[in-house]
Structure 1
Amino acid sequence: MNSSKQLKMTVYTSLFVAFIAIGAFIAIPIGPVPIVLQNMFVLLAAIILGPVWAVACVAIYLLIGLAGLPVFAGGTSGIGKLFGPTGGYLLGYLPAVFVTAGISKALGKRMSADMIAMVTGSLIVYGAGVFWLKIATAMTLEKAVAVGMFPFLIGDVLKIIAAAFIAKSLRPVIKL
């Protein structure tokens, strides 16, 4: 990769780290897991940046949150977030962006491919998040699914649709 492309990708990756952090500030508390926009930006980073840069983006986001910058939901931070009810969702972003980006790339970066990729990524996040929510709160699996997944499904469908349209508009402009 030439230095111009490297610089461009570094800038876009940094922007997506900022978007993810901003998305986390837009939080509606509805129980142990808030409604946030950060997952939309995580998935959008995946389909725009590709597997390597998207994983780097999410890893940087997680590291700055662990270091104490208030970038997690509701302006929180710290290692305690990884051991709390939302830790699985946060850590689930890493495999989710890798898989989402890979599917989007393999299927041709079309809107339909992006939606399939983002649904798959969301399922990965839910799998990690609900599992960890169950452990962190000692809930039954049914209860963890009821509070950690079901309330978010309609919103996530809307976020996936919005992200697909955003990606369609962004790709011609940023030319990655």
Structure 2
Amino acid sequence: MSKQHEKLRMMLTAALFAAIIGIMAQVTIPLPLVPITGQTLAVGLAATILGSRYGALSAIIYMLLGAVGIPVFSGMSAGMGVIFGPTGGYIVSFIFSAFITGLYIEKTSATVTQAFIANAIGMLINLTFGTVWLKVMADLSWAEAFVGGFTPFIIGGILKAFLAAWIGILARKRLQSARLLPSSTKLSA
């Protein structure tokens, strides 16, 4: 397969993962400040399967879809008001989280253990960035932001990091053996 065809396939796959993130955003457990959603699991899967560049691209596409008004954010919401609202930092952080998660796996190895570590790092990036954003945008104290935007998500985040690692590495290996993903650990851009 030519480099151009491979690149197009990966870009289309990133777009597909953007849709998956949007679908998983609708799996919601409401909490007072920030709901628990399936978005972070989907972002972790995108990064684990697609790598740094295309995982981040899927998060960028997802954010842009929501920014222009397509209801892909939690609770079928959309618009710049969501991005610049109290929980928007979590959405923006998906880009960095996906890139760092994918990069860690590319620099180490595509094993479940390394992918779990990478996804745990991605979770911390997401929670830290989102909590700081929540504090600033909702005018909360650091304690309020930490209690409302960080601590309720630690256990679920660890579980999602494990699931993203386990399912992601399994899916990645199967997609590579079917020649639907490049066979190298480092996915080219």
Give matches, 1:151-166, under 5 Å.
151-166=152-167
Are positions 1:11 and 2:12 aligned together? yes
Map 1:1-176 onto structure 2 (within 5 A).
Answer: 2-175=3-176, 176=181
Look up the SS of the partner of 2:25 in the other structure: helix
User: What is the number of residues matched between the two proteins?
Assistant: 176
CA distance in 1, matches of 2:4, 2:84: 39
Structure 1 residue ranges (4+ consecutive) displaced by more than 3 angstroms after TM superposition: none
Structure 2 contact 29–37 (Cα < 8 Å) conserved: yes
The one-letter code sitting in structure 1 at the alignment partner of 2:175 is I
- The CA deviation string for residues 112-146 of structure 1, in whole angstroms up to 9 with x for no partner, is 11011111111111111000100111111111010
SS at match of 1:25: coil
- Per the normalisation by structure 2, the TM-score is 0.89
* Structure showing the higher helix proportion among its residues: 1
Residue 11 of structure 1 deviates from its aligned partner by 2.9
For 2:80 and 2:8, the matched residues in 1 are separated by 30
- In structure 2, stretches of 5+ residues that fail to align are 182-189
Task: Give the deviation of 1:56 after TM superposition.
Answer: 1.2
Report the AA paired with residue 10 of structure 1: M
Give a deviation string over 1:44-67, Cα, whole Å, max 9, x none. Answer: 111111111112111110001000
Amino acid at match of 2:124: L
Contact 2:119/2:162 (8 A) holds in 1: no
Structure 1 unaligned residues grouped into runs of 5+:
none
Q: Give SS of 2:70's match.
A: coil
Distance 1:125 1:67 in 2: 22
Q: Tell me how far 1:165 sits from its aligned partner.
A: 1.5
Per the TM alignment, residue 3 of structure 1 is displaced from its structure 2 partner at its CA by: 2.9
TM-score, L = length of structure 1 = 0.95
Deviation at 1:13, TM superposition (A): 1.1
Residue 8 of structure 1, CA deviation? 2.4
